[in-house]
Chains A and B, each alone.
Chain A
C-alpha cells in the first residue's frame, strides 16, 4: 500500500476528476473548484516523487508551497474576474458569456 504507484494513482484520479469537472460544470465557481483539484493533484505528485525518489526532501516541499501560493493568487484573480463578469451579465454561467462566438 505504501508505494509510489498508490500515490500516483490517487493523483491521476484527482486530476481526472478535476478535468471532468472543468469540462462539465457550467458554473464558473464550479470550474474554479475543479482547477483547484487539478492543482492539488499536481502537488500530490510532487510530494510522492519527493518522498520516494528524491534524496533531498526539501525540493518537492518547496514546489508544493509554491503551488499553494499560486493557487491562492489564482483564486483571488479568478474570483475577481468572475465578479466582474457577474456585474456585466448578472450570471456566472459560462453559457451566458458567448460574445466571442465566431
Chain B
C-alpha cells in the first residue's frame, strides 16, 4: 500500500492544525502573558481552528483509499535520514479529532475553572504547548518525530502538573511524573536505536510493512519490548503506575486533558500505531497483554478504597488503559482503539464534572462533597452519573460497546484466564464507580456537620455555565458514541476487508451480569436506605491498607531509591568523584609541580653550566648524525 501525497487543501489544513497551537504558545508566553483576556482569546482561537480542521479532515477522508503522507527531510547522515512530516490514516485522523476536541473543550472549561488565578496566561501558554506536542505526536510520520514530541508532551505535562508549584506536593508530583516516564522513555529510545541500526528506516509505514520480513524474530521481539517500555511509562502501566495518581495535584482540567484523555493515551496510541509491527511478534503481544491485565487488577483494587474523587478517576484511568492494552495484546486492534475513543470522552467528562464539584466545595473528598450538598448541582451531577455509568459499562452508553468489543477479543483467546481477568476488572470498575456515585447521591447523615464554603468562594454564574457547557457536549458524545462502533470499525479496518472480530452471544449476558453484580454490591453497601457507607474492605483492614498504600509500590520505590540509587550508585559515584576525578587532578598537579622542581636544578644561574649543556647536546646530536 503506497501512500499518496496530500493535495494543497489537505496540506494547508494539516499544517494549520499542527502550527497554530505552537504560534499560540509563543504569542502568549512571550508577549501577552500579562493580559489574561487576550491570552485566553489567542489560545482558544488557536485551539478552535485546529478543531474545525481536524473534524473536516476526518469527515473529508471517511473511507479514504490510501494513507496520505507528506514529509520533508530534516537531516540525513550516512544512510539514515530523519524526516519530519505527517501521516494521515484513519487511526491518526481519529486520534487527531479526539485530541483537538478534548483540548478545545478543556480550554473552554478552564476559562471558568481558572478564573481569578494569577497565572492564567501562563496556564494557557502551557495548554497550547501541550496541544501542539500532542497533535504533532499523533500525526508524526516517523518514530523519531514521534519520540521528539513524546518527550515534549512529557515536558508540558511536567509544567502543568506542577503548575501550582508553590504547593510542595504539586512540584514533587511533577518531578515524579517526569522521572518515572523518563525511565520508560529510555527503553523507547533504545528500541528506536535498535530499529535504526538493523532496519535503517524509522518511518511508521515502513516499520509496519517491512519489519517482520527484515528483522529476525529475536530482534523484533526485543525492539518491540523496548518500545513498550516507553508505553509503560507514559500510560502508567504496571511497574511505573504510581506517578499518575500523584499527578492529580495539577489543576483538574489538566487532569482531564492529560491524565485521562490524551497524554496517557499516547502509549496505547503508539502500540496501535505500529500494531502490525507488534503483531509480528507474538511474544511481545503476550507481554502487552500480561502487563495490561496486572495493571488493570492492581489499580482497580486501589480505586476501591480511595476517598479522593480525583484519585478514584486516576486509578480508573490506569486500569482502563490496562484494559485497552489487554485488548491490543489479545490482537484486537479495533477493540483497543474503540475503547480508547470512548474512554477519552467519558473520562474527560468524569474529570471535568469532578472539577466543578472541587471548585464549588473546595475539597477532593467525595464523602465531604456529598454532605455539603453535591446533589444540588444538577447538571454536573447528571453528567457525572452518565459518565460513571459509561465507565462501568452500562447499556446503552459508550463504555458498554467498547468494553464489549474488548471482551469479545479476550474471549477469542485460547486461555480463558484473560477473559476471567477482564470480567473481574469490569466488576471492580462497576463497584468503585457506583460506590462513588451512591455516596454522592445519598449523603450520609453522620455526626459530622455538613461543611460549607471553602473552595474559591462565591462564584459568578458565567464561570459555572462556562464549565457546564463542555460537560454537556462531552455527555452527548458519551451517550451516542457507542452506536458509531460499526462505522468506526469499518473506517479503521480499511485495509482488511471483511475481517470482523468474533462475537459471542453469551458474552454480552456474562458481562452484563458481572457489571450488575458490581453495581449491586455497591448499592448494598452504599446506596440502599440506611447503608453504613463502609465497603466490605473495611472488614479486612490488612487488605484495605494494602490497597490504600498502592500495594506498597511507592514504598518499594522509596526502598529502591534509598538502597540502590542513593546507597549504592550515589556512593560509588561519590567515591569515584573523590578518588578518581579529584585524585587524578590532584596527582596531575603534584606531578607538574614535582617535574618543575626537578627541572629547576638545570637552572643553576651559572652561565657556563648552561653553555656546557648546550655544547653537550649539540655534540650528542652531531654524534647521532655521524653514526646513523
Contact = CB atoms under 8 A, between A and B. Distances in A.
A102 B602 contact: yes
Interface in B331-372: none
B601 interface: yes
Interface in A7-45: 19, 22-24, 26, 31
A56 interface: no
Nearest to B603: A102
B605 interface: yes
A100 interface: yes
A97 interface: yes
Contacts of A87: none
A23 B611 contact: yes
A102 B600 CA distance: 5
A89 B555 CA distance: 83
Contacts of A23: 608, 611-612, 615
Contacts of B604: 98, 101-102
A94 interface: yes
Interface string B561-604: 00000000000000000000000000000000000000111111
A100 B608 contact: no
B350 to A, nearest CB: 83
B606 interface: yes
A53 B608 CA distance: 37
Q: How large is the interface on B (under 10, 10 to 19, 20 to 34, 35 or more residues)?
A: 10 to 19
Nearest to A26: B608
Nearest to A100: B605
A97 B603 contact: no
Contacts of A19: 615
Contacts of A24: 608
A22 B611 contact: yes
B461 interface: no
A2 interface: no
Nearest to B607: A94
Given A97-B605, A98-B605, A102-B603, 7 more contacts: A22-B608, A22-B611, A23-B612, A26-B608, A94-B607, A101-B604, A101-B606
27 contacts: A19-B615, A22-B608, A22-B611, A23-B608, A23-B612, A23-B615, A26-B608, A94-B606, A94-B607, A94-B608, A97-B605, A97-B607, A98-B604, A98-B606, A99-B605, A100-B603, A100-B605, A101-B603, A101-B604, A101-B605, A101-B606, A102-B599, A102-B600, A102-B601, A102-B602, A102-B603, A102-B605
Q: What 7 pairs across the A-B complex have the smallest Cβ distances?
A: A102-B603, A101-B605, A98-B605, A102-B600, A100-B605, A94-B607, A23-B608
